[in-house]
Structure formats: structure tokens, C-alpha cells
Structure 1
Amino acid sequence: MRMGETDLLAIRFLLKREQEGRSVSPKDLATHLGISSASTTVLIDRLVRSGHVERRPHPTDRRALVIAPTIASDDEVRATLGDMHRRMIQVAEGLEPDEAVTVLDFLEDMRTAVDSVRDGEGEQAPTAPVTSIDEARSASGS
């Protein structure tokens, strides 16, 4: 979609809230993204210009606005993610069983590491630091 991460997170949030039947104010969006109101205004302006979101009058408060994704935004997200998911599935299906086990073990270890930091358990240093994928491959003989 040729967007930055914050733009994609904003659209995803807006699409989810719309699906739930909930409106989103600029303040709601700022809180969700953890950005300032000034940054939120710039973000919304950019997404309005690109045709991904629109400002609408608040249904009950004439002074307020809500931010809503456009139909084009929903279609583009579905098309982009659908294509990306198909490619990801092809890669995953191409793994040999032992490779899949290695990947799953790695992802589980990464989840545990992230959760332990998030849960305040402190940082766990890796046993053998790897500086690049190429270094890891040469160390494993691949």
C-alpha cells in the first residue's frame, strides 16, 4: 500500500472499529497510536488526501468529528493483505518438516522473550549473539 507503519495501524484500527459499529474521534485515534494531537492531525490529513479516510460529522455532537475509513481503503487493505497472506502461506508450505519445527521453536522463543520484557521479568541475553542472517546460515552450515 506504500504507507508507513502508523498509517497502516490507523487504517486497521478504523476498519476494526467500523466493523464493531463504533465511531472514532481524532483523540481516540491518537490514544490508540500513542501519538500527539498534532501528529494525529497530520496523519489524518495525509490519509484524507490519499483517499483512505474521511472526516464525518459526529452523530450526536455537532462540534465534533469522527474519522472513518473509506470503502476504497477497505478494498485496498483486503487486496494487499490477501496477496501478502497467499505469499506467506506459499513460503510456509515450502518448508521441510524439520525446518518448520525450527521456525516454530524460534517464534515461540521470541514470543516468550517479548512477553517476559512486557511482563517486567527483565531482559534475557541471547546465548550466542548473531549479527546477520548470513552469519547464522554460515554458522549452521546452510
Structure 2
Amino acid sequence: MRTRTRDSMGMGETDLVALRYLLRATRAGERVRQRDLAQVLEITSASASALVDRLVRDGYAQRVAHPDDRRSVSIEPTQKSDEDVRSTLGAMHRRMLEAAESLSPEELAAVAKFLTALTRSVE
């Protein structure tokens, strides 16, 4: 799923993880600084800077003044990023539902039995 999302949005794995983190943080009302991204993604500050530059250049993020620290900026996702992620994931979710709905009750029971056994085997 990540590969398809990355390919659809034209970004690398780390950029997608960063964007998803920004979207979650924004929904939770949290401010994200570049150094926060570096820490969460376990990358250097130089790599975080390049990552943010790419997200800004491609219209997925913006730098805004941090309300609590005049020396700092927050990185926020743009409306475009939310729309692109929702559009890409929405299409994937529809295909997943179609696949599930195409199964007979017997096939669904077999899948459920397999997934339950698989889950128990790794717990």
C-alpha cells in the first residue's frame, strides 16, 4: 500500500512517512518543527532540511512561524497533501473492499480462520 501511495504521489518512503506524521500531528493539534521530524524519522538535521525543502517545493507542506517560539518555524501539511493522501488511499480502500466483497461466505470464513491463526502464531 505504501509503495502505491508513494508512486502515486511521486515521493520516497521517508517523505511519505514524514507527511503522514505531519498530518497526524496536525489533526492532534500538535506543532511540528524540523528537528521534531529529524528525531521521529531518525535522520540528521541536514536530511530533515532537505526533506522539508522537497515537501514544500512539491506543495505538500509549508513553513509557518511557530506561535510559541519566534526563533522557530513549524512545518504544516497543506490542503493538497491531505487531499492527495485521501484520494490515493480512498482508491486503494475501494479496491480492497471490492476484493473482500467478491468473496463467498465460505471464502470469507477461510480467510478469517487463516488470519486468526496467523495472528495467534505471532503473539
In the alignment, structure 2 segments of 5+ residues that lack a partner are 1-8
The aligned counterpart of 2:19 is: 11
The aligned counterpart of 2:108 is: 100
More helix as a share of residues: 2
The aligned counterpart of 2:39 is: 31
Could you tell me the TM-score, scaled by structure 2's length?
Answer: 0.79
Partner amino acid, structure 1, of 2:95: R
Percent pairwise identity: 50
Could you tell me the TM-score, scaled by structure 1's length?
Answer: 0.69
Give distance in 2, aligned partners of 1:30 and 1:10. Answer: 9
Give distance in 1, aligned partners of 2:38 and 2:52. Answer: 10
| RMSD of aligned residue pairs (Cα, Å) | 2.0
The aligned counterpart of 1:66 is: 74
In terms of Rg, which structure is larger? 1
User: Which residues of 2 match residues 38-77 of structure 1 at below 5 A?
Assistant: 38-77=46-85
The aligned counterpart of 1:85 is: 93
How many Å apart are 1:46 and its aligned residue? 0.9
Give distance in 2, aligned partners of 1:35 and 1:108. Answer: 36
Give distance in 2, aligned partners of 1:89 and 1:58. Answer: 41
The aligned counterpart of 1:119 is: none
In structure 2, the CA distance between the partners of 1:66 and 1:109, relative to structure 1 (3 Å rule), is: farther
Aligned residue pairs total 115
Residue 62 of structure 1 aligns to a residue whose secondary structure is coil
Give distance in 2, aligned partners of 1:16 and 1:92. Answer: 28
How many Å apart are 1:55 and its aligned residue? 1.1
